C-alpha cells in the first residue's frame, strides 16, 4: 500500500510539471499570426507609395538591371537571378514578371507573353525573353541616389526603394489581397498622368479617372478618387452590325473574351437572353459576333447583355499603399501629388550629385592646368622622399590657386603625381581651357536648374510625354450610363398559368388556363372576386386567393395602366365605382380594394393599359318601387384616384348584372417624351430635350450621317447612335429637305420628299463611295445659303440664297433632286425659315389623372370615406 501511495504521489508531481509546461494557443495566435499577417501585408501584397512596386516586382526590376546589356534575356534566367533576392519560389516570380510584361511599360518583351484580351497564358519562362524598356532605364534607375539594404540571406545588396521619377503606381495599377487587408488601384492613362503632374507643379487643379488596356466604356460618376466606397461601372462596346448581328469590339476590364462568352452562353441557357450562336474572331483586337434569331430586337438584346452578362460589371477601387511600414489609405489625387513631389526631390538629388561631380571635375582640370602650365612637375626633380614631393607640389601650387572653390588636399596632389609624362608632353593649353569653360557652363546650367527646380521638373515631364507618350492615348471611353431595368429587357422564357377557382398561379400548372409569357424575375399582379389585390414573384405554384378575376405581369411605377372597378362592400349594401393605378406595393401583401368585409364583392372589373374608359350597362333587380332598372355608366366620367379611395356611389339598390356596352378609348393625356443626349436614350422623366407629346400611333423621325432615314415608335429601350443628326416627332405631312453630294457627278443636289413607308429604313444618298449627306432640314419652308470658293485672281461669287420650296417640288424619296449649282461650293448653311403656321391638331378633352404615387410609395391604404358632400351619385 505504501509503494502504491508513493507511485501515486510521483505521478501527480509529473502531471503538475506537464501542466506547467503547456503554452496557451491564444498567445501563439497573437504572436505568430500577427507576424505572418504583417509579413504578407508589407512584403507581398501591397505596393509601396515611394516607388509603386511590391517587393517581388522591385526585385525583378533590380535583377533585370543587373543583367542588362541591351540584349534579351531568357525569363527563366531573370527569375533565377531574382531568387538571389526574393525568398520565394520561381513560380511566383515568373507570374509577377509576366504581369509586369503584359502592362507594356517597363519590360520589352519577346515571345508569347499571353493575351489579356483572350485570357491566354504566357509560354513557359524558358521560351520567352525580356529586357528593360528605354522608358524603364530612364525613369526607374539612379544608383547614386538609391538607398540599399542587405538581401534576405545577407549575401547581396538590394534597393530599399527604386528612385522612380514617374507616377508608376497609377500608370500600372495594383491589386493584392493580404490578411485582413486588400488593395485595388486601377490603371490610369500615361499621358493624363503626366498632364496631371504638370498641373500639380503649376498649382492647378486636376482630376484623374481610370483607363484600361482592354478599352471598353466606363462610367466614373462614383469613382470617389479611387478610395474605399467608390465604384465605377465598366461596359463592353457593343454595336449593331445588322438587324440579326451584334458585334463586341471592346471588353470590360477584369474580363476576357472567354469569360465574356461563357457569361453570354449561361444567360442564354437560363433564358435571360435569346441568341442563335456566337463567333469569336479575336486576334490582335477583340471581335465577338453575337447572332440573333429572327424577330429579336438588337437594342433590347444589347440592354439584356448589359443586365445579365459580364458585358457590364462594377469595380470597387480601394487605394491602399505602404508608407513607413504601415498601411495608408489615400486617393489617387494624393498618390499623384506625392509621386510628383517625390520626383521633384529625386531630380533635385540627382542635380546636386551632378553639380558636385562637375565642380570636382572643374577643380581637378584647373589644378592639372596649373600643374602643367607652370611646370610645377619640375620642382620635384630634386626631391628624394615622397613627403618632399608632396610638399614641393603644394608649395608650387599656392601662388596659383586663389581662384579655386575649395582647398587643395593631399589626395589632389597625389592625383597630380599620377599624370603620365606622355600626357604632359602633349598637353594642349587651348583644349584644357575649352574643357574648363564647358564645365563652367554645365555648372551654371545645373545651378540654374536647382534654383528653378519646378520649371526643370515640368520640362522633365514634358520630355517624357514627347518621347514615350505617342501611342498611349486613352483607350476607355468615358460616358454616363443609363440604368437598365432587368424586368424590361429579360426574355419571356416561360409561361404563366392560372387556376381561377382554386386560386393558384404558377408556371407548372400546365393543365390550367394559360395567361401570358413571363420571365422568372417578373412580378405578377392578381385581383380576386372578393376585391383583394396581391403582387407576388413568379414561381412554379403559388396560392393567391380563390376566385381570381384578373392576373397579369406587374410593371412597377406604371402610371398608364388603369383599373376600372365596380364593387359592393357588403351584402345588400350600395355599389361603388372607382378607377385607380397601382404604381408600387409591398410584395406578397394582401390589399383590400372593396373593403374588408367578408361579404364584399367585385361586380365589374377591367384592366386598361392606356387608361381606356369603357361604357357599361347597369341592370338592377326588380325590388319595390324602383322606376329605372337599367342605365349606362361611362367610366370617363370617373376621376382616376388612388387604389385605397372608396370611389363614387353607383346605386344603393341590388345590382342584377353589369354588361359591357362600348369599348373605351384612352382618357390619358399624350405622353411627353424627352431625349437625353448624355446617354442617347429616350425618357419620360424630363431629362434632356422635349421631343413632344406622343399618342399611341405617333412615330419618331430619325436621320443619321450615313443618309439613313427611318420612322420608329418612341420605345424607351431604343439606343441611338452618335452619328444621328435628326431626331424629332414625325409629322407625315411635313416635307424633309436634303442636300447631298453626288459622287459620280461631283455636284451638290437638293431634294424634298415625304416618307411613304413608315417603320422602314431608306437611304437618301446614292451608293457612290464619294457621295455623302451635307445637311437635312425639317422646316416647313427652309432657306439655304450657298457660299462659293474664290477663284484664283478673281473676286468670289456672291452668296446664293435658295428658297427650297420654290427651288424644287416634293418628290419621291429615291429621286436625286435638282442640281443646286454648277459652281464649286465652299459651304452650305441653313438660314432662318420662312414663316409658316402649322394647322392645329384637334384634340379630345383631356381627363385629369390624380397622382397618388406618394400614397403608394408610403404603402398606406387610405380609405376615402365619402359622405354626401363628395359622393357623386350616378343613379
Closest among 397, 375, 251, 268 to 312, alpha carbons compared: 251
* Grid cell of 597 as nine digits: 368585409
Distance CA 844, CA 8 (A): 109
Closest among 49, 103, 57 to 331, alpha carbons compared: 49
Helix, strand, coil share (%) of the chain residues, nearest 5: 30, 25, 45
* Grid cell of 284 as nine digits: 490582335
Place of cell 409561361: 495
Distance CA 3, CA 702 (A): 110
Neighbours of 118 (CB within 10 A): 16
Q: Which of 127, 306, 497, 653 is catalytic?
A: 127
Close Cβ partners of 317 (under 8 Å, ≥ 6 residues apart): 184, 185, 186, 210, 223, 224, 226, 227, 228, 230, 231, 232
Distance CA 98, CA 114 (A): 8
* Grid cell of 37 as nine digits: 499577417
Place of cell 424575375: 521
294, with CB counted inside 10 A (0-12, 13-18, 19+), is exposed
681, with CB counted inside 10 A (0-12, 13-18, 19+), is buried
- The DSSP letter of residue 849 is B
127 is catalytic: yes
Distance CA 184, CA 321 (A): 10
Distance CA 285, CA 558 (A): 43
Neighbours of 403 (CB within 10 A): 7
| CA dihedral sign of residues 673, 519, 720, 722 | positive
Tally of CA atoms within 13 A in the half-sphere of 447 that contains its CB: 9
Helix (H) or strand (E) holding 717: none
Place of cell 462568352: 261
CB 626 within 8 A of CB 654: no
Distance CA 267, CA 798 (A): 63
Close Cβ partners of 620 (under 8 Å, ≥ 6 residues apart): 626, 628, 629, 630, 651, 653, 654, 655, 656
Place of cell 344603393: 652
286, with CB counted inside 10 A (0-12, 13-18, 19+), is buried
Q: Which residues are catalytic?
A: 127
Amino acid at each position: 500500500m505504501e509503494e502504491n501511495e508513493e507511485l501515486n504521489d510521483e505521478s501527480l508531481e509529473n502531471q503538475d510539471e506537464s501542466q506547467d509546461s503547456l503554452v496557451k494557443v491564444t498567445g501563439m495566435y497573437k504572436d505568430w499570426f500577427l507576424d505572418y499577417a504583417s509579413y504578407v501585408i508589407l512584403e507581398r501584397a501591397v505596393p509601396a507609395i515611394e516607388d509603386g512596386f511590391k517587393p517581388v516586382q522591385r526585385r525583378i526590376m533590380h535583377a533585370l538591371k543587373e543583367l542588362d546589356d541591351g540584349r534579351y534575356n531568357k525569363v527563366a534566367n531573370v527569375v533565377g537571378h531574382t531568387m538571389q533576392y526574393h525568398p520565394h519560389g520561381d513560380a511566383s516570380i515568373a507570374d509577377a514578371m509576366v504581369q509586369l510584361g503584359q502592362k507594356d511599360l517597363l519590360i520589352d518583351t519577346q515571345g508569347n507573353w499571353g493575351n489579356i484580351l483572350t485570357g491566354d497564358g504566357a509560354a513557359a519562362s524558358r521560351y520567352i525573353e525580356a529586357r528593360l524598356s528605354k522608358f524603364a532605364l530612364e525613369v526607374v534607375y539612379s544608383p547614386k541616389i538609391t538607398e540599399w539594404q542587405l538581401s534576405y540571406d545577407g549575401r547581396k545588396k538590394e534597393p530599399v526603394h527604386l528612385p522612380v521619377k514617374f507616377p508608376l503606381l497609377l500608370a500600372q495599377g495594383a491589386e493584392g489581397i493580404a490578411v485582413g487587408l486588400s488593395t485595388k488601384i486601377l490603371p490610369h492613362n500615361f499621358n493624363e498622368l503626366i498632364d496631371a503632374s504638370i498641373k500639380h507643379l503649376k498649382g492647378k487643379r486636376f482630376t484623374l479617372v481610370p483607363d484600361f488596356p482592354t478599352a471598353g466604356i466606363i462610367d466614373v460618376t462614383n469613382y470617389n478618387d479611387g478610395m474605399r466606397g467608390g465604384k465605377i461601372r465598366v461596359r463592353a462596346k457593343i454595336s449593331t452590325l445588322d438587324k440579326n448581328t451584334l458585334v463586341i469590339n471592346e471588353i470590360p476590364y477584369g474580363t476576357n473574351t472567354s469569360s465574356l462568352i461563357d457569361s453570354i452562353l449561361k444567360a442564354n441557357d437560363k433564358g435571360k437572353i435569346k441568341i442563335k450562336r456566337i463567333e469569336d474572331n479575336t486576334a490582335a483586337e477583340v471581335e465577338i459576333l453575337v447572332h440573333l434569331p429572327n424577330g429579336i430586337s438588337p437594342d433590347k438584346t444589347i440592354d439584356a447583355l448589359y443586365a445579365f452578362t459580364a458585358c457590364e460589371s462594377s469595380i470597387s477601387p480601394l487605394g491602399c499603399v505602404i508608407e513607413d511600414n504601415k498601411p495608408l489609405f489615400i486617393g489617387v489625387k494624393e498618390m499623384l501629388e506625392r509621386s510628383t513631389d517625390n520626383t521633384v526631390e529625386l531630380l533635385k538629388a540627382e542635380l546636386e550629385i551632378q553639380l558636385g561631380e562637375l565642380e570636382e571635375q572643374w577643380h581637378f582640370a584647373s589644378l592639372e592646368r596649373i600643374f602643367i602650365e607652370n611646370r610645377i612637375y619640375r620642382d620635384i626633380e630634386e626631391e628624394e622622399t615622397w613627403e618632399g614631393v608632396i610638399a614641393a607640389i603644394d608649395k608650387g601650387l599656392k601662388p596659383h590657386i586663389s581662384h579655386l572653390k575649395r582647398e587643395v588636399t593631399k589626395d589632389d596632389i597625389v592625383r597630380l603625381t599620377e599624370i603620365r609624362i606622355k600626357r604632359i608632353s602633349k598637353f594642349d593649353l587651348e583644349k584644357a581651357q575649352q574643357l574648363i569653360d564647358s564645365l563652367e557652363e554645365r555648372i551654371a546650367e545645373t545651378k540654374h536648374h536647382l534654383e528653378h527646380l519646378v520649371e526643370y521638373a515640368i520640362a522633365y515631364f514634358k520630355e517624357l510625354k514627347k518621347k514615350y507618350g505617342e501611342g498611349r492615348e486613352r483607350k476607355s471611353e468615358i460616358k454616363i450610363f443609363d440604368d437598365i431595368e432587368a424586368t424590361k429587357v429579360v426574355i419571356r422564357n416561360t409561361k404563366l398559368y392560372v387556376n381561377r377557382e382554386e386560386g393558384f398561379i404558377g408556371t407548372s400548372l400546365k393543365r390550367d388556363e394559360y395567361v401570358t409569357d413571363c420571365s422568372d424575375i417578373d412580378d405578377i399582379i392578381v385581383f380576386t372576386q372578393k376585391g383583394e389585390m396581391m403582387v407576388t414573384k413568379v414561381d412554379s405554384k403559388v396560392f393567391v386567393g380563390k376566385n381570381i378575376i384578373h392576373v397579369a405581369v406587374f410593371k412597377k411605377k406604371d402610371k398608364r395602366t388603369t383599373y376600372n372597378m365596380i364593387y359592393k362592400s357588403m351584402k345588400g349594401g350600395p355599389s361603388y365605382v372607382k378607377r385607380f393605378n397601382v404604381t408600387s406595393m409591398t410584395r406578397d401583401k394582401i390589399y383590400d380594394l372593396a373593403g374588408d368585409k367578408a361579404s364584399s364583392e367585385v361586380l365589374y372589373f377591367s384592366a386598361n393599359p392606356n387608361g381606356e374608359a369603357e361604357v357599361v350597362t347597369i341592370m338592377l333587380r326588380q325590388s319595390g318601387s324602383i322606376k329605372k332598372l337599367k342605365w349606362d355608366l361611362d367610366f370617363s366620367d370617373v376621376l382616376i384616384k388612388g387604389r385605397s379611395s372608396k370611389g363614387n356611389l353607383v346605386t344603393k339598390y341590388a345590382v342584377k348584372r353589369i354588361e359591357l356596352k362600348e369599348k373605351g378609348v384612352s382618357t390619358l393625356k399624350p405622353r411627353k417624351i424627352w431625349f437625353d443626349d448624355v446617354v442617347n436614350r429616350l425618357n419620360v422623366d424630363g431629362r434632356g430635350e422635349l421631343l413632344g407629346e406622343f399618342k399611341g400611333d405617333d412615330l419618331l423621325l430619325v436621320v443619321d450621317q450615313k443618309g439613313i432615314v427611318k420612322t420608329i415608335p418612341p420605345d424607351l429601350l431604343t439606343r441611338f447612335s452618335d452619328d444621328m443628326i435628326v431626331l424629332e416627332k414625325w409629322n407625315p405631312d411635313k416635307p424633309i429637305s436634303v442636300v447631298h453630294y453626288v459622287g459620280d457627278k461631283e455636284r451638290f443636289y437638293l431634294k424634298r420628299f415625304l416618307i411613304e413607308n413608315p417603320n422602314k429604313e431608306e437611304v437618301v444618298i446614292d451608293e457612290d463611295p464619294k457621295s455623302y449627306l451635307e445637311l437635312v432640314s425639317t422646316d416647313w419652308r427652309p432657306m439655304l445659303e450657298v457660299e462659293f470658293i474664290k477663284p484664283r485672281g478673281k473676286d468670289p461669287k456672291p452668296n446664293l440664297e435658295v428658297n427650297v420650296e420654290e427651288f424644287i417640288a416634293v418628290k419621291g424619296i429615291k429621286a436625286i433632286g435638282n442640281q443646286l449649282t454648277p459652281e464649286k461650293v465652299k459651304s452650305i448653311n441653313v438660314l432662318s425659315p420662312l414663316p409658316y403656321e402649322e394647322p392645329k391638331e384637334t384634340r379630345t378633352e383631356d381627363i385629369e389623372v390624380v397622382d397618388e404615387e406618394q400614397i403608394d410609395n408610403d404603402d398606406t391604404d387610405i380609405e376615402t370615406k365619402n359622405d354626401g358632400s363628395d359622393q357623386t351619385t350616378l343613379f
